[in-house]
Amino acid sequence: MLQIGTRRLTYSLRLDDAPRLVISVYPDLTVAVRAPHGADPRQVDARVLRRAPWIHRRLLEFERYHPLPVPRRYVSGETHYYLGRQYRLRIRRGPEEVKLIRGFLLVTLKGKRRAKHLVAEWYRARAEAVFRRRLAGVMQRTQWLDGKPRAIRIRRMMRRWGSCGPSGVITLNIELVKAPPSSIDYILAHELCHRLELNHSKRFYELLRRAVPDWERARERLNRAPI
């Protein structure tokens, strides 16, 4: 384990017939080092430390990612999340509807329709409303970024929370609606800042801090959210 600034870095080391030492950073925030047989561990540590700025930048980029959602069975008693809060799923029979009530995500089913589909439709409807409302708030506070209204697309993304294409359309992971509002604002501001700075450069983070002064805290809450 190495200490790089405020970050503790653990990496895996593989010794084989590699002609040189190679450092790889993966989206799951793991760091792997491949080195030739007989490599001195102290020299490996020294090489990793020299590459610390690059490793740190890659980890910051990948911290936008999140592990895949936990598989759910959609049975009563199961835990689900909405805007950073935890709710217990309760399923009953009756006219179809989904609503939040006193700490429960209450799903009423009619006929043979599965709870999973009804809950998915509810999350999508909520996501469309929440994301547009949060985007309006972020853009109102940061008109210097881009005062023009932006379209939002919602889809299920395997790893990314969001992206912003050349047209300015923002694509958000539907799972983001389960995160705290401050984390949703962070992702929106993050994508808007990419309109002015494509890379994760020093200027990009200066823009992001201007848009979201406590963006590190919002990102940490997102990373820790048990979505």
Classify burial at 218, counting beta carbons within 10 Å of its beta carbon; exposed 0-12, middle 13-18, buried 19 or more.
buried
Q: What is the pTM of this model?
A: 0.70
- Looking at the fold, whether 106 and 204 belong to one and the same domain comes out as yes
- Looking at the fold, whether 23 and 84 belong to one and the same domain comes out as no
| β-strand pairing of 11-16 with 31-36 | parallel
Residue 216 included in any domain: yes
- The tens place of each residue's pLDDT in the chain, 227 residues long, gives 566 666 677 888 889 888 889 888 876 677 889 899 989 988 998 999 888 888 888 787 766 555 555 678 899 999 999 999 999 999 999 999 999 999 999 999 987 778 999 999 999 999 999 999 999 999 888 888 765 657 899 998 876 788 887 777 899 999 999 999 999 999 999 999 888 887 778 898 999 999 999 999 998 888 777 77
- Looking at the fold, whether 84 and 17 belong to one and the same domain comes out as no
Owning domain of residue 109: 79-224
- Looking at the fold, whether 101 and 178 belong to one and the same domain comes out as yes
Residue 71 included in any domain: no
Residue 70 included in any domain: no
The residues, any chain, with a CB within 8 Å of residue 101's CB and separated by 6 or more, are none
Cβ pair 106, 99 in contact under 8 A: yes
Residue 74 included in any domain: no
Cβ pair 119, 74 in contact under 8 A: yes
**How many whole angstroms from its chain centre is CA 217?**
13
Helices (H) and strands (E) in the chain, counts: 6, 12
Domain count, the chain: 2
- Looking at the fold, whether 183 and 137 belong to one and the same domain comes out as yes
